[in-house]
Amino acid sequence: KPPSSSYPRELRKRYEVLNKTLGVGTFAVVKECVDKVTGIHCALKIIMKKALIGKEHMLTTELNILTAVQHPNIVSLHQLYETPDAVCIVTDLASGGELFQQLLKRGNYDEVDASRLIAQILEGVKYLHERDIVHRDLKPENLLFKSTLADAPLMITDFGLSKILNNHDDILMTACGTPGYVAPEVLMQTGHGKPVDCWSIGVIMYTILCGYTPFWGEDQASLFEAIMSGEFEFEEEYWSDISDSAKDLITRFLTFEPQDRITAAEALTHPWITGSTSTQSSRI
């Protein structure tokens, strides 16, 4: 957490960094800041370069790609600044908090609300995939509500960065970051293409509908085993009231072979998403 004097001069010229930490991630501290001219509040993500060892050269290229990304369901990058120790990224502010926090509060979502959330994640991911950007770290902690309003848009954060920040060792070593959303081919180191994001969306959809994750283990080794087995269940006790359409879509997302897995574009035409499934009202 660098003191304000250590923020880059250019950043301090344009933004006032508020003494308010929005969140702490695996590699970053996120603060709120204000554009001194427009008064617009933004998020300032400070990534310590220690997290980038050996991959510093990728950073500028990757971040420039990310600056071009503009979508209502994606947290956009506005500005980039660098210090010897850190990279500072100014992005859209998403003040509604993490889907993860909301899920903890609510326990689970009904199908109508869940469908609206998953549709938004799919819109963002489809947009990224069309541009050959794979997120690789989709999970409820990386999905933020734009505001605290009940119908606030859900926005994807942290995309693309995982390519630079995460490697297999990180996945194995970050015991704090639950890797329950990771696709089997990532664990087996046989693939990390677009289908890995669709797997994660399947885990998210399963989790927000019932309140627990489809894959579970006493420790990390057994969790990995569970994921790599590709087997999961819709336990009667929790799933009996949930539509077959929802279960069908989850099953298509949690398809073991990446080439057989449903894509984001395909999923957007699934009846559970378009709202033609009988158990739900039409989607706005």
Q: Which of 35, 110, 137, 219 is catalytic?
A: 137
Q: Is 200 in the site for ligand ADP (CB under 6 A)?
A: no
Q: Give the span between the Cα atoms of 81 and 188, in whole angstroms.
A: 36
Q: Name the one range near ligand ADP by CB under 6 A: 77-85, 106-114, 141-149, 191-199.
A: 141-149
Could you confirm whether 113 is annotated as catalytic? no
Cβ distance to ligand ADP smaller for residue 89 or 262? 89
Q: 264: Cβ–Cβ under 8 A, 6 or more apart, which residues?
A: 122, 125, 126, 129, 194, 197, 198, 201
Q: Which amino acid is at 116?
A: R
Helix axes 99-106, 195-210, angle to 10 degrees: 30
Strand partners, 23: 30
Helix (H/G/I), strand (E/B), else coil: 133: coil
Would you give the binding string for Mg ion spanning residues 118-157, x where CB under 5 A is met?
A: ------------------------x---------------
Q: Name the one range near ligand ADP by CB under 6 A: 109-117, 137-145, 190-198, 213-221.
A: 137-145
- Find out whether 204 and 98 touch, Cβ atoms under 8 Å: no
Cβ distance to ligand ADP smaller for residue 111 or 141? 141
Helices (H), 30-79: 56-67
Q: Which of residues 22-41 bind ligand ADP (CB under 6 A)?
A: 22-28, 30
Report, as residue numbers or ranges, the catalytic residues. Answer: 137
Residues that bind ligand ADP in the complex, under the rule CB under 6 A: 22-28, 30, 43, 45, 75, 91-94, 98, 141-142, 144, 157-158, 161
